[in-house]
Amino acid sequence: MYDIIIIGAGTAGISAYKEAIKYTSNILIINDGPWDTTCARVGCMPSKVLISTANRMYDIEHANEVGLNIKSELDTSHVMQHVRELRDRFTRATLKDVDSWNPKHKINGRAKFINKHTIEVNGQLYSSKSFIIAVGSTPNYEAVWKEKLGNKLITSDEIFELETLPKSIAVIGSGVIAIELAQAMQRLGVETTVFARSKKVGVLSSPRLQQIAQVELSKDLNIKFEILPTSVESTQNSIKLNFIENAESKHIYVDYVLAATGRQSHLKTLNLENINSSFSDLKKLPLDNETKQLLDLPIFIIGDAFTQTPLQHEAANEGKLVISSCLNFPKVSNLKQLTPLGIVFSNPEMAIIGSNYSNLSKLGIEFITGYASYEKQGRALVLGKNKGAIEVYIDKNSRKLLGAELFVESAEHMAHLLAWMIAENVTIDDILQKPFYHPTLEEGLRTAFKHARRQL
Ligand SMILES: Cc1cc2nc3c(=O)[nH]c(=O)nc-3n(C[C@H](O)[C@H](O)[C@H](O)COP(=O)(O)OP(=O)(O)OC[C@H]3O[C@@H](n4cnc5c(N)ncnc54)[C@H](O)[C@@H]3O)c2cc1C
């Protein structure tokens, strides 16, 4: 009987293994498919390479914003090759790490539960005192569309494998992955149309910032809000998408359709109902949100497999922290200790830090919103990036910083500052005593904090 069996070797599973091996070598890690993680192979990393190239192209084409007249000739034929070359560098680093592990600890194959102590992989049974389920998720798509469109219907699993940039693409969805990839494609010269079920882009929950983001992103990108294709057809050389807009039947032709309508968990591959028949309803799994423990069992589900926050750093952190719960069972600990932090690599970037506007409102917390626009902000003007706005949320009674939402250039950096400040439990008065260098984007944060303080 093993001490720990880890199912899934993505970011969460690898992190768990690296922590567990410090305390016991009586462990097993099982993985179905490649061992180079979703993040490195088809997630965070290749998407950021593509976005970075797209943003550089945009900056060259908009160099007039900083007083340059550039006559450029841009050749985009190597973009996809560049994405894969850099992506392969990241996946190689992960695989090098995994290759250095004891081969006896690793099994290739799909695990499924036989009972609460035992799993089956490739026809063999393995028992353990505890299990870590880190099986991640896979992109959603319409099966009927897939049948009709074949390899012209792609998801984030396939987009980075395209040999060349297509001429046109329709993106279904307006969440994080949809908006990041759609904007990058558009900026790289691919005629891109986004079909959005709702009137929402990305993650911002503040109505004011959401509105600003919709207007700003729609300047570059054709986003059809509250419109989804009614049907799709495969024609000789392209795909025809039919839809209704302003009560009129319309259609467009595109080379590819990118389905970016969320992801579904791999939990269904595990036969969890063999542990307890009530676990057949995966949406209602009795999983503690903080300890990630399944009912009262020594079984923990971490990473993207069952979470409201499918993020790489959360998956890695949960993998590390869960080992103590496995080895000290039944003493289990809280795995959700990090200040919430989510970033969208749109341009301008979006970020949500701490408690968001929507949650604070729903919980009836008395808070003040400090607002600052970046349209006339000094440093943003200097950079030619004077777009967007930010909000900070301050508790009316304790004067503590509760959260923030950003839609602004370099939000990724300011988001970290804000997350670290929230973790330190600082008040608005503490923050306004800190240095703010001139001229910086951080001065806009001070504007927002001062706006909040005036209301307190
Ligand atoms: C396009 C895209 C962009 C992203 N960008 C970002 C970003 O910028 N920042 C960020 O923080 N996050 C980002 N993410 C999310 C991030 O990639 C995930 O949060 C992270 O990869 C989750 O890791 P995981 O270990 O839970 O799952 P995974 O890395 O998916 O690992 C799960 C593993 O389990 C295996 N498995 C599944 N079922 C079984 C089974 N029955 N038996 C054995 N093995 C099994 C799978 O094959 C896989 O190898 C992005 C994701 C995508 C798709």
Domain identity same for 322 and 360: no
Nearest residue (CA) to ligand 1, atom 9: 44
User: Band of the pLDDT at 393, cuts 50, 70, 90?
Assistant: very high
What integer pLDDT is reported at residue 139 of this predicted model?
98
Is the per-residue pLDDT at 236 higher than 90? no
399: domain CATH number is 3.30.390.30
Task: Assess whether 161 and 94 both reside in one domain.
Answer: no
Do 380 and 386 contact (CB within 8 A), yes or no?
A: yes
Same-domain check for residues 199 and 93 = no
pLDDT of residue 72: 85
Annotated binding residues: 48, 173-180, 262, 304
Q: Which atom of ligand 1 is nearest to the CA of 32?
A: 44
Note whether residue 117 is domain-resident.
yes
Q: Is residue 333 part of a domain?
A: no
Q: Is 39 in the pocket of ligand 1 (CB under 6 A)?
A: yes
Q: Please indicate, yes or no, if residue 272 is contained in any of the structural domains.
A: yes
**Closest protein CA for atom 8 of ligand 1:** 44
pLDDT of amino acid 336: 87
Give the domain-ending residue among 302, 328, 354.
328
Annotated active-site residue 78? The verdict is: no
- pLDDT of res. 373: 98
68-87 pLDDT, tens per residue?
Answer: 999 989 999 999 999 999 99
214, part of any domain: yes
Domain extent at residue 202: 143-259
pLDDT cut 70: percent of the chain above it: 100
| Closest CA relative to residue 226, chosen from 268, 193, 186, 196 | 196
Q: Which residue is listed with tokens 């300890």?
A: 291
Q: What is the pLDDT of residue 219?
A: 97
- How many structural domains are present in the chain? 3
Establish if 233 belongs to a structural domain.
Answer: yes
Residues 321, 199 within the same domain? no
pLDDT at 384: 97
Residue 334 inside a domain? The answer is: no
- Residue 382 identity: V
Q: Cα of 135 to ligand 1 centre, how many Å?
A: 8
Q: Measured from the CB, is residue 33 less than 6 Å from ligand 1?
A: yes
Percent pLDDT > 90 in the chain is 99
pTM exceeds 0.85, yes or no: yes
The b/e string for 99-123 (b: 16+ C-beta within 10 A; e otherwise) is eebeeebbbeebbebeebbbbbbee
Same domain (yes/no): 392, 288: no
Last residue of one domain, picked from the residues 259, 288, 320: 259
- pLDDT at position 361: 97
Angle (nearest 5°) at CA 135 between 151 and 17 = 130
CA-nearest of 72, 2, 52, 390 to 209 is 390
User: 302 with 441, same domain?
Assistant: no
pLDDT-derived band at 127, boundaries 50, 70, 90: very high
Is residue 358 located within the same domain as residue 450? yes
Mean pLDDT, the chain, whole residue set: 97
**Per-residue pLDDT tens over the stretch 251-281:** 999 999 999 999 999 999 999 999 999 999 9
Q: How confident is the model at residue 92 (pLDDT cuts 50, 70, 90)?
A: very high
Residue 336, in any domain of the structure: no
Q: Is residue 335 part of a domain?
A: no
Cα of 154 vs centre of ligand 1, distance in Å, is: 18
Q: Based on the domain organization, do 90 and 149 belong to the same domain?
A: no
Mutate which of 7, 14, 18, 39 for ligand 1? The one with the most ligand atoms within 8 Å of its CB, which is: 39
Task: Tell whether 350 and 409 lie within a shared domain.
Answer: yes
Residue 110, domain CATH: 3.50.50.60
Could you give the CA distance from residue 284 to residue 51 in angstroms, rounded to a whole number?
36
Binding residues for FAD: 48, 304
Over 90: is that where the pLDDT of 366 sits? yes
119 and 31, same structural domain? yes
Q: Poorest-confidence range of 156-160, 236-240, 292-296, 382-386?
A: 236-240
Q: Give the per-residue pLDDT at 210.
A: 98
For residues 438 and 451, give the distance between their C-alpha atoms in angstroms, rounded to a whole number: 19
Among the three residues 232, 259, 286, which one is the final residue of a domain in this structure?
Answer: 259
Q: Is 272 found in the same domain as 129?
A: yes
253 in the same domain as 171: yes
Q: Sorting pLDDT into bands at 50, 70 and 90, what band is 206?
A: very high
Closest CA to 27 of 38, 40, 14: 14
